Amino acid sequence: MPESLPQRITVLGATGSIGTSTLDVIARHPERFEAFALTAHVQVDRLFELAVRFAPRYAVLGDPAAAAELRYRLTAHGSRTEVLVGPEALLEVAAHPEVDAVMAAIVGAAGLAPTLAAARAGKRVLLANKEALVLSGRLFMDAVAASGAVLLPIDSEHNAVFQALPHGYARDPQACGVRRVLLTASGGPFRERPVDTLEAVTPEEACAHPNWVMGRKISVDSATMMNKGLEVIEAHWLFGVSARRIEVVIHPQSVIHSLVDYVDGSVLAQLGNPDMRTPIAHALAWPQRIDAGVRPLDLFEIARLTFERPDLTRFPCLALAYRALEAGGAAPAVLNAANEEAVAAFLDRRLGFRRIPEVIAATLERASGLSVDSIEAVMEADARARDLARDEIRLRQG
Ligand code: NAD
Ligand code: MG
Protein backbone atom coordinates (compact mmCIF):
# COMPACT_ATOMS: atom_id res chain seq x y z
CA MET A 1 0.00 0.00 0.00
CA PRO A 2 1.20 3.58 -0.62
CA GLU A 3 2.64 5.35 2.45
CA SER A 4 -0.26 7.65 3.16
CA LEU A 5 -3.87 6.74 2.59
CA PRO A 6 -6.23 7.87 1.36
CA GLN A 7 -4.46 9.22 -1.71
CA ARG A 8 -5.68 12.68 -2.66
CA ILE A 9 -6.75 12.86 -6.30
CA THR A 10 -7.39 15.85 -8.55
CA VAL A 11 -9.66 14.97 -11.46
CA LEU A 12 -9.22 17.42 -14.34
CA GLY A 13 -12.29 17.05 -16.56
CA ALA A 14 -14.36 15.37 -13.82
CA THR A 15 -17.67 15.74 -15.68
CA GLY A 16 -16.49 13.98 -18.85
CA SER A 17 -16.56 10.34 -19.83
CA ILE A 18 -13.13 9.52 -18.32
CA GLY A 19 -13.80 11.77 -15.30
CA THR A 20 -17.04 9.91 -14.57
CA SER A 21 -15.37 6.49 -14.83
CA THR A 22 -12.54 7.72 -12.57
CA LEU A 23 -14.99 8.83 -9.89
CA ASP A 24 -16.76 5.49 -10.18
CA VAL A 25 -13.50 3.69 -9.34
CA ILE A 26 -12.65 6.18 -6.56
CA ALA A 27 -16.10 5.65 -5.00
CA ARG A 28 -15.47 1.88 -4.83
CA HIS A 29 -12.37 2.43 -2.64
CA PRO A 30 -13.06 5.21 -0.15
CA GLU A 31 -10.30 3.91 2.13
CA ARG A 32 -7.73 4.33 -0.65
CA PHE A 33 -8.77 7.43 -2.58
CA GLU A 34 -10.27 10.83 -1.86
CA ALA A 35 -11.33 13.43 -4.44
CA PHE A 36 -9.28 16.54 -3.63
CA ALA A 37 -10.31 18.75 -6.57
CA LEU A 38 -12.83 18.27 -9.37
CA THR A 39 -12.83 20.46 -12.48
CA ALA A 40 -15.13 21.10 -15.43
CA HIS A 41 -15.51 23.62 -18.19
CA VAL A 42 -19.10 24.92 -17.89
CA GLN A 43 -21.28 22.06 -16.57
CA VAL A 44 -22.65 23.58 -13.32
CA ASP A 45 -25.37 20.97 -12.64
CA ARG A 46 -23.06 18.03 -13.06
CA LEU A 47 -20.23 19.54 -11.03
CA PHE A 48 -22.69 20.53 -8.30
CA GLU A 49 -23.86 16.89 -8.02
CA LEU A 50 -20.26 15.64 -7.93
CA ALA A 51 -19.20 18.21 -5.34
CA VAL A 52 -22.10 17.21 -3.09
CA ARG A 53 -21.36 13.52 -3.52
CA PHE A 54 -17.54 13.59 -3.19
CA ALA A 55 -17.07 16.71 -0.99
CA PRO A 56 -13.77 17.73 -2.60
CA ARG A 57 -11.68 20.58 -1.15
CA TYR A 58 -11.98 22.45 -4.48
CA ALA A 59 -14.35 22.57 -7.46
CA VAL A 60 -13.04 24.45 -10.50
CA LEU A 61 -15.00 25.84 -13.44
CA GLY A 62 -13.64 27.53 -16.54
CA ASP A 63 -16.41 30.08 -16.84
CA PRO A 64 -16.81 32.88 -14.21
CA ALA A 65 -20.63 33.08 -14.46
CA ALA A 66 -20.90 29.30 -14.08
CA ALA A 67 -18.51 29.44 -11.10
CA ALA A 68 -20.61 32.14 -9.39
CA GLU A 69 -23.71 29.99 -9.79
CA LEU A 70 -21.96 26.89 -8.46
CA ARG A 71 -20.61 28.83 -5.46
CA TYR A 72 -24.10 30.11 -4.66
CA ARG A 73 -25.68 26.66 -4.92
CA LEU A 74 -22.99 24.90 -2.88
CA THR A 75 -23.14 27.52 -0.13
CA ALA A 76 -26.92 27.23 0.03
CA HIS A 77 -26.46 23.46 0.33
CA GLY A 78 -24.07 23.85 3.28
CA SER A 79 -21.11 22.45 1.31
CA ARG A 80 -17.57 23.38 2.35
CA THR A 81 -16.14 22.91 -1.14
CA GLU A 82 -14.36 26.04 -2.31
CA VAL A 83 -15.14 27.12 -5.90
CA LEU A 84 -12.23 28.41 -8.01
CA VAL A 85 -12.34 29.71 -11.55
CA GLY A 86 -10.24 29.85 -14.72
CA PRO A 87 -7.05 28.40 -16.18
CA GLU A 88 -4.87 29.56 -13.25
CA ALA A 89 -7.03 27.61 -10.83
CA LEU A 90 -6.53 24.47 -12.96
CA LEU A 91 -2.77 24.88 -12.57
CA GLU A 92 -3.18 25.36 -8.83
CA VAL A 93 -5.20 22.18 -8.21
CA ALA A 94 -2.97 20.17 -10.55
CA ALA A 95 0.23 21.12 -8.72
CA HIS A 96 -1.15 21.56 -5.18
CA PRO A 97 1.34 20.26 -2.57
CA GLU A 98 -1.29 18.08 -0.91
CA VAL A 99 -2.25 16.25 -4.12
CA ASP A 100 -0.86 12.74 -4.71
CA ALA A 101 -2.26 11.97 -8.17
CA VAL A 102 -3.80 13.92 -11.04
CA MET A 103 -6.18 12.40 -13.56
CA ALA A 104 -5.59 14.45 -16.72
CA ALA A 105 -8.94 14.03 -18.50
CA ILE A 106 -9.64 17.42 -20.05
CA VAL A 107 -10.26 17.00 -23.78
CA GLY A 108 -7.98 18.68 -26.30
CA ALA A 109 -5.17 21.24 -26.16
CA ALA A 110 -6.89 22.96 -23.19
CA GLY A 111 -5.55 20.11 -21.06
CA LEU A 112 -1.88 20.75 -21.80
CA ALA A 113 -1.04 23.47 -19.25
CA PRO A 114 -2.56 21.82 -16.16
CA THR A 115 -1.25 18.37 -17.15
CA LEU A 116 2.23 19.81 -17.59
CA ALA A 117 1.89 21.60 -14.22
CA ALA A 118 1.13 18.23 -12.57
CA ALA A 119 4.16 16.66 -14.29
CA ARG A 120 6.43 19.52 -13.21
CA ALA A 121 5.20 19.20 -9.63
CA GLY A 122 6.27 15.53 -9.62
CA LYS A 123 2.78 14.08 -9.19
CA ARG A 124 1.54 10.66 -10.21
CA VAL A 125 0.08 11.72 -13.57
CA LEU A 126 -2.71 9.55 -14.98
CA LEU A 127 -2.66 10.62 -18.59
CA ALA A 128 -5.91 10.40 -20.58
CA ASN A 129 -5.36 13.73 -22.36
CA LYS A 130 -3.31 12.33 -25.25
CA GLU A 131 -3.30 15.75 -26.92
CA ALA A 132 -0.77 16.92 -24.25
CA LEU A 133 1.83 14.50 -25.62
CA VAL A 134 0.92 15.15 -29.24
CA LEU A 135 1.36 18.90 -28.82
CA SER A 136 4.74 18.69 -27.23
CA GLY A 137 5.93 15.24 -26.34
CA ARG A 138 9.51 16.28 -25.72
CA LEU A 139 8.62 19.14 -23.39
CA PHE A 140 6.26 16.90 -21.48
CA MET A 141 8.59 13.89 -21.17
CA ASP A 142 11.48 16.19 -20.14
CA ALA A 143 9.29 17.66 -17.39
CA VAL A 144 8.43 14.16 -16.16
CA ALA A 145 12.11 13.14 -16.12
CA ALA A 146 13.21 16.33 -14.35
CA SER A 147 10.62 16.17 -11.57
CA GLY A 148 10.51 12.40 -11.09
CA ALA A 149 6.74 12.37 -11.76
CA VAL A 150 5.23 8.91 -12.28
CA LEU A 151 3.50 8.90 -15.66
CA LEU A 152 0.85 6.21 -16.16
CA PRO A 153 -1.10 5.95 -19.42
CA ILE A 154 -4.90 5.78 -19.27
CA ASP A 155 -5.53 5.45 -22.99
CA SER A 156 -6.49 1.75 -23.13
CA GLU A 157 -3.91 0.91 -25.82
CA HIS A 158 -1.02 2.60 -24.02
CA ASN A 159 -2.08 1.20 -20.70
CA ALA A 160 -2.04 -2.26 -22.36
CA VAL A 161 1.45 -1.65 -23.80
CA PHE A 162 2.64 -0.44 -20.39
CA GLN A 163 1.35 -3.67 -18.86
CA ALA A 164 3.04 -5.79 -21.57
CA LEU A 165 6.44 -4.10 -21.14
CA PRO A 166 8.90 -5.27 -18.48
CA HIS A 167 8.64 -3.61 -15.07
CA GLY A 168 10.98 -0.62 -14.95
CA TYR A 169 11.08 -0.25 -18.75
CA ALA A 170 13.14 2.89 -19.33
CA ARG A 171 12.02 3.99 -22.80
CA ASP A 172 14.79 1.93 -24.44
CA PRO A 173 13.11 -0.59 -26.75
CA GLN A 174 16.38 -2.12 -27.99
CA ALA A 175 17.66 -2.91 -24.52
CA CYS A 176 14.40 -4.70 -23.70
CA GLY A 177 14.21 -6.63 -26.98
CA VAL A 178 11.07 -4.85 -28.19
CA ARG A 179 10.65 -5.35 -31.94
CA ARG A 180 7.31 -3.60 -32.46
CA VAL A 181 4.44 -2.07 -30.59
CA LEU A 182 1.08 -3.12 -32.06
CA LEU A 183 -1.76 -0.71 -31.33
CA THR A 184 -5.21 -2.16 -31.83
CA ALA A 185 -8.10 -0.11 -33.21
CA SER A 186 -11.77 -0.99 -33.50
CA GLY A 187 -12.03 0.69 -36.91
CA GLY A 188 -14.93 2.79 -35.58
CA PRO A 189 -18.48 2.95 -36.95
CA PHE A 190 -17.45 3.28 -40.63
CA ARG A 191 -15.07 0.34 -40.99
CA GLU A 192 -17.35 -1.43 -43.47
CA ARG A 193 -19.43 1.40 -44.87
CA PRO A 194 -18.86 2.01 -48.63
CA VAL A 195 -16.27 4.82 -48.92
CA ASP A 196 -18.39 6.78 -51.43
CA THR A 197 -21.20 7.12 -48.86
CA LEU A 198 -18.93 8.65 -46.19
CA GLU A 199 -19.51 12.08 -47.74
CA ALA A 200 -22.96 12.23 -46.17
CA VAL A 201 -22.35 10.95 -42.63
CA THR A 202 -23.86 12.95 -39.76
CA PRO A 203 -22.35 13.79 -36.35
CA GLU A 204 -24.84 11.36 -34.76
CA GLU A 205 -23.61 8.49 -36.96
CA ALA A 206 -19.96 9.39 -36.33
CA CYS A 207 -20.48 9.48 -32.54
CA ALA A 208 -22.19 6.06 -32.43
CA HIS A 209 -19.10 4.01 -31.60
CA PRO A 210 -19.61 0.23 -31.77
CA ASN A 211 -17.69 -0.70 -28.57
CA TRP A 212 -16.93 2.38 -26.44
CA VAL A 213 -19.04 5.23 -25.05
CA MET A 214 -16.83 8.34 -25.16
CA GLY A 215 -16.88 12.13 -25.46
CA ARG A 216 -18.00 13.54 -28.84
CA LYS A 217 -14.59 14.75 -29.99
CA ILE A 218 -12.78 11.44 -29.42
CA SER A 219 -15.75 9.60 -30.95
CA VAL A 220 -15.35 11.53 -34.22
CA ASP A 221 -11.59 10.91 -34.01
CA SER A 222 -12.34 7.18 -33.79
CA ALA A 223 -14.56 7.39 -36.87
CA THR A 224 -11.79 9.08 -38.90
CA MET A 225 -9.10 6.99 -37.16
CA MET A 226 -7.31 10.23 -36.24
CA ASN A 227 -7.65 8.90 -32.70
CA LYS A 228 -5.31 6.05 -33.64
CA GLY A 229 -3.00 8.53 -35.39
CA LEU A 230 -2.78 10.64 -32.21
CA GLU A 231 -2.16 7.41 -30.29
CA VAL A 232 0.76 6.47 -32.56
CA ILE A 233 2.34 9.82 -31.65
CA GLU A 234 1.45 9.28 -27.98
CA ALA A 235 3.09 5.81 -28.03
CA HIS A 236 6.23 7.25 -29.63
CA TRP A 237 6.70 9.66 -26.72
CA LEU A 238 5.59 7.37 -23.91
CA PHE A 239 7.70 4.37 -24.89
CA GLY A 240 10.53 5.87 -26.99
CA VAL A 241 9.62 3.82 -30.10
CA SER A 242 10.09 5.19 -33.61
CA ALA A 243 7.13 5.53 -36.01
CA ARG A 244 8.26 2.56 -38.12
CA ARG A 245 8.13 0.27 -35.09
CA ILE A 246 4.53 1.20 -34.27
CA GLU A 247 1.93 -0.73 -36.22
CA VAL A 248 -1.83 -0.26 -36.20
CA VAL A 249 -4.02 -3.38 -36.33
CA ILE A 250 -7.78 -3.21 -36.77
CA HIS A 251 -9.41 -5.52 -34.24
CA PRO A 252 -13.18 -4.92 -34.32
CA GLN A 253 -14.00 -6.74 -31.05
CA SER A 254 -11.85 -4.35 -28.90
CA VAL A 255 -10.87 -7.17 -26.55
CA ILE A 256 -7.10 -7.08 -27.11
CA HIS A 257 -6.20 -3.55 -26.10
CA SER A 258 -2.68 -3.65 -27.61
CA LEU A 259 0.43 -5.85 -27.92
CA VAL A 260 4.22 -5.80 -27.68
CA ASP A 261 6.20 -7.96 -30.12
CA TYR A 262 9.64 -9.04 -28.79
CA VAL A 263 12.72 -10.15 -30.77
CA ASP A 264 12.47 -13.73 -29.49
CA GLY A 265 9.06 -14.09 -31.15
CA SER A 266 7.00 -13.59 -27.98
CA VAL A 267 4.00 -11.31 -28.36
CA LEU A 268 2.45 -10.08 -25.10
CA ALA A 269 -1.07 -8.69 -25.14
CA GLN A 270 -3.45 -7.26 -22.56
CA LEU A 271 -7.09 -8.33 -22.89
CA GLY A 272 -10.28 -7.29 -21.18
CA ASN A 273 -13.82 -6.09 -21.75
CA PRO A 274 -13.82 -2.61 -23.30
CA ASP A 275 -14.33 -0.55 -20.14
CA MET A 276 -12.10 2.42 -19.29
CA ARG A 277 -12.39 1.63 -15.58
CA THR A 278 -9.77 -1.12 -16.11
CA PRO A 279 -6.89 1.19 -17.15
CA ILE A 280 -8.09 3.82 -14.66
CA ALA A 281 -8.03 1.36 -11.74
CA HIS A 282 -4.70 -0.02 -12.95
CA ALA A 283 -3.09 3.43 -12.94
CA LEU A 284 -4.72 4.56 -9.68
CA ALA A 285 -3.45 1.52 -7.76
CA TRP A 286 -0.25 0.69 -9.67
CA PRO A 287 1.77 -1.38 -8.91
CA GLN A 288 -1.06 -3.02 -6.99
CA ARG A 289 -4.41 -4.18 -8.44
CA ILE A 290 -7.86 -3.21 -7.24
CA ASP A 291 -11.42 -4.07 -8.22
CA ALA A 292 -12.64 -1.80 -11.03
CA GLY A 293 -16.27 -2.99 -11.20
CA VAL A 294 -15.57 -4.46 -14.65
CA ARG A 295 -17.29 -7.66 -15.80
CA PRO A 296 -14.85 -10.60 -16.10
CA LEU A 297 -13.89 -11.44 -19.67
CA ASP A 298 -15.82 -14.42 -21.04
CA LEU A 299 -13.74 -15.93 -23.85
CA PHE A 300 -16.42 -18.50 -24.66
CA GLU A 301 -18.95 -15.73 -25.22
CA ILE A 302 -16.47 -13.82 -27.45
CA ALA A 303 -15.40 -16.99 -29.31
CA ARG A 304 -13.60 -15.19 -32.17
CA LEU A 305 -11.00 -12.42 -32.36
CA THR A 306 -10.27 -10.99 -35.81
CA PHE A 307 -7.66 -8.64 -37.28
CA GLU A 308 -7.43 -6.45 -40.41
CA ARG A 309 -4.89 -4.08 -41.94
CA PRO A 310 -6.15 -0.45 -41.92
CA ASP A 311 -7.17 0.91 -45.33
CA LEU A 312 -5.51 4.31 -45.70
CA THR A 313 -7.90 5.41 -48.47
CA ARG A 314 -10.77 4.99 -46.07
CA PHE A 315 -8.76 6.50 -43.18
CA PRO A 316 -6.42 9.20 -44.59
CA CYS A 317 -6.10 10.77 -41.11
CA LEU A 318 -3.99 7.84 -39.97
CA ALA A 319 -1.46 8.44 -42.74
CA LEU A 320 -1.41 12.17 -41.94
CA ALA A 321 -0.52 11.43 -38.30
CA TYR A 322 2.38 9.14 -39.28
CA ARG A 323 3.60 11.85 -41.65
CA ALA A 324 3.43 14.51 -38.92
CA LEU A 325 5.32 12.29 -36.46
CA GLU A 326 8.06 11.68 -39.01
CA ALA A 327 8.26 15.40 -39.89
CA GLY A 328 8.69 16.18 -36.17
CA GLY A 329 8.97 19.69 -34.70
CA ALA A 330 5.64 21.48 -34.61
CA ALA A 331 3.96 19.18 -37.17
CA PRO A 332 2.12 17.01 -34.57
CA ALA A 333 0.87 20.16 -32.80
CA VAL A 334 -0.37 21.56 -36.12
CA LEU A 335 -2.02 18.24 -36.94
CA ASN A 336 -3.79 18.26 -33.57
CA ALA A 337 -4.96 21.88 -33.78
CA ALA A 338 -6.27 21.47 -37.34
CA ASN A 339 -8.02 18.27 -36.30
CA GLU A 340 -9.70 19.91 -33.28
CA GLU A 341 -10.97 22.77 -35.46
CA ALA A 342 -12.14 20.46 -38.25
CA VAL A 343 -13.91 18.10 -35.82
CA ALA A 344 -15.63 21.03 -34.08
CA ALA A 345 -16.82 22.31 -37.49
CA PHE A 346 -18.06 18.83 -38.41
CA LEU A 347 -19.96 18.47 -35.11
CA ASP A 348 -21.42 21.92 -35.83
CA ARG A 349 -22.52 20.72 -39.31
CA ARG A 350 -20.32 23.32 -41.01
CA LEU A 351 -17.94 20.79 -42.58
CA GLY A 352 -18.43 17.45 -44.33
CA PHE A 353 -16.87 14.32 -42.81
CA ARG A 354 -14.58 13.73 -45.80
CA ARG A 355 -13.32 17.32 -45.60
CA ILE A 356 -11.73 16.72 -42.15
CA PRO A 357 -8.52 15.14 -43.54
CA GLU A 358 -8.42 17.73 -46.34
CA VAL A 359 -8.41 20.59 -43.82
CA ILE A 360 -5.64 18.91 -41.80
CA ALA A 361 -3.48 18.18 -44.86
CA ALA A 362 -3.85 21.76 -46.15
CA THR A 363 -3.02 23.22 -42.72
CA LEU A 364 0.09 21.03 -42.38
CA GLU A 365 1.12 22.26 -45.82
CA ARG A 366 0.73 25.94 -44.91
CA ALA A 367 2.09 25.98 -41.33
CA SER A 368 5.82 26.57 -41.25
CA GLY A 369 8.47 28.08 -38.97
CA LEU A 370 6.61 27.13 -35.77
CA SER A 371 8.38 25.99 -32.62
CA VAL A 372 7.30 23.79 -29.67
CA ASP A 373 10.29 24.40 -27.38
CA SER A 374 8.34 26.01 -24.56
CA ILE A 375 4.73 25.98 -23.47
CA GLU A 376 4.34 29.54 -24.80
CA ALA A 377 5.70 28.44 -28.21
CA VAL A 378 3.36 25.42 -28.19
CA MET A 379 0.33 27.60 -27.50
CA GLU A 380 1.43 30.04 -30.24
CA ALA A 381 1.88 27.20 -32.75
CA ASP A 382 -1.51 25.84 -31.72
CA ALA A 383 -3.18 29.26 -32.19
CA ARG A 384 -1.51 29.86 -35.56
CA ALA A 385 -2.49 26.40 -36.82
CA ARG A 386 -6.10 27.00 -35.69
CA ASP A 387 -6.22 30.27 -37.69
CA LEU A 388 -4.99 28.49 -40.80
CA ALA A 389 -7.38 25.60 -40.25
CA ARG A 390 -10.39 27.93 -39.84
CA ASP A 391 -9.40 29.52 -43.11
CA GLU A 392 -9.32 26.11 -44.80
CA ILE A 393 -12.69 25.23 -43.23
CA ARG A 394 -14.28 28.43 -44.61
CA LEU A 395 -13.10 27.47 -48.11
CA ARG A 396 -14.89 24.11 -47.80
CA GLN A 397 -17.95 25.13 -45.80
CA GLY A 398 -21.08 23.17 -46.75
P1 NAD B 1 -15.42 14.51 -22.56
O2 NAD B 1 -15.76 15.45 -23.63
O3 NAD B 1 -16.41 13.49 -22.14
O4 NAD B 1 -14.99 15.32 -21.25
C5 NAD B 1 -14.07 16.38 -21.30
C6 NAD B 1 -13.90 17.05 -19.95
O7 NAD B 1 -13.02 18.19 -20.14
C8 NAD B 1 -15.19 17.60 -19.34
O9 NAD B 1 -15.15 17.46 -17.93
C10 NAD B 1 -15.15 19.09 -19.72
O11 NAD B 1 -15.83 19.90 -18.78
C12 NAD B 1 -13.65 19.37 -19.67
N13 NAD B 1 -13.26 20.47 -20.59
C14 NAD B 1 -13.57 20.57 -21.91
N15 NAD B 1 -13.03 21.71 -22.43
C16 NAD B 1 -12.36 22.31 -21.42
C17 NAD B 1 -11.62 23.54 -21.34
N18 NAD B 1 -11.45 24.34 -22.40
N19 NAD B 1 -11.08 23.85 -20.15
C20 NAD B 1 -11.25 23.05 -19.06
N21 NAD B 1 -11.95 21.89 -19.09
C22 NAD B 1 -12.50 21.53 -20.26
O23 NAD B 1 -14.05 13.80 -23.02
P24 NAD B 1 -13.51 12.32 -22.69
O25 NAD B 1 -14.03 11.36 -23.67
O26 NAD B 1 -13.67 12.04 -21.23
O27 NAD B 1 -11.96 12.49 -23.03
C28 NAD B 1 -11.06 13.18 -22.18
C29 NAD B 1 -9.63 12.92 -22.64
O30 NAD B 1 -9.37 11.52 -22.49
C31 NAD B 1 -9.40 13.23 -24.11
O32 NAD B 1 -8.11 13.74 -24.27
C33 NAD B 1 -9.51 11.88 -24.79
O34 NAD B 1 -8.72 11.79 -25.96
C35 NAD B 1 -8.94 10.96 -23.72
N36 NAD B 1 -9.44 9.58 -23.80
C37 NAD B 1 -10.76 9.32 -23.64
C38 NAD B 1 -11.22 8.01 -23.72
C39 NAD B 1 -12.68 7.67 -23.50
O40 NAD B 1 -13.02 6.50 -23.46
N41 NAD B 1 -13.56 8.64 -23.33
C42 NAD B 1 -10.32 6.98 -23.97
C43 NAD B 1 -8.97 7.27 -24.12
C44 NAD B 1 -8.54 8.59 -24.03
MG1 MG C 1 -7.40 4.71 -27.01
Instruction: Please state the domain extents for the chain.
Output: 7-153, 157-314, 328-398
What separation in Å is there between the alpha carbon of 206 and the centre of ligand 1? 17
Q: What is the pTM (predicted TM-score) of this model?
A: 0.97
Which ligand lies nearest the alpha carbon of 276? Answer: 1
CA dist list (Å): 337 to 65, 83, 121, 227, 371? 27, 30, 26, 13, 14
Low-confidence ranges of the chain (pLDDT < 70): 1-3, 398
What confidence score (pLDDT) does residue 356 get? 98
Tell me which architecture the domain covering 7-153 has in CATH: 3-Layer(aba) Sandwich (3.40)
Residue 308 per-residue DSSP state: B
What confidence score (pLDDT) does residue 1 get? 44
What separation in Å is there between the alpha carbon of 237 and the centre of ligand 2? 15
Distance (Å, rounded) from C-alpha 106 to C-alpha 370? 25
What confidence score (pLDDT) does residue 3 get? 59
Which atom of ligand 1 is the closest one to the Cα of 212?
Answer: 40
Q: Is the CB–ligand 1 distance for residue 155 below 6 Å?
A: yes
Q: Is the CB–ligand 1 distance for residue 136 below 6 Å?
A: no
List, as ranges, residues with CB under 5 A of the ion ligand 2: 155-157
* 101 contacts 123 by C-beta, under 8 angstroms: yes
Distance (Å, rounded) from C-alpha 335 to C-alpha 364? 6
Q: Is the CB–ligand 1 distance for residue 127 below 6 Å?
A: no
CB-side exposure of 38: number of CA atoms within 13 Å? 29
* Sign, Cα dihedral of 21, 292, 38, 115: negative
* 393 contacts 367 by C-beta, under 8 angstroms: no
**Which H or E run contains 218?**
helix 216-224
Instruction: Tell which CATH classification among 2.40.37.10, 3.30.1490.20, 1.10.1740.10, 2.60.40.10 matches the domain 328-398.
Output: 1.10.1740.10
What does the buried/exposed string (b/e) look like for 92-101 if buried means 16 or more CB atoms within 10 Å of the residue's CB?
bbbbbeebbb
Same topology between domain 7-153 and domain 328-398: no
Which atom of ligand 1 is the closest one to the Cα of 214?
Answer: 41
What separation in Å is there between the alpha carbon of 233 and the centre of ligand 2? 12
Q: Is the CB–ligand 1 distance for residue 339 below 6 Å?
A: no
Q: Give which of 260, 281, 284 is closest to 270, Cα–Cα.
A: 260
Q: Probe ligand 1: pick from 17, 60, 93, max atoms within 8 Å of CB? A: 17
| Among protein residues, the one whose CA lies closest to atom 21 of ligand 1 | 41
Distance (Å, rounded) from C-alpha 233 to C-alpha 248? 12
| Among protein residues, the one whose CA lies closest to atom 40 of ligand 1 | 214
Give the end-to-end CA distance of the chain in Å, rounded to a whole number: 56
Q: Is the CB–ligand 1 distance for residue 214 below 6 Å?
A: yes
Which atom of ligand 1 is the closest one to the Cα of 132?
Answer: 32
* 108 contacts 24 by C-beta, under 8 angstroms: no
What separation in Å is there between the alpha carbon of 265 and the centre of ligand 2? 25
Q: Is the CB–ligand 1 distance for residue 62 below 6 Å?
A: yes
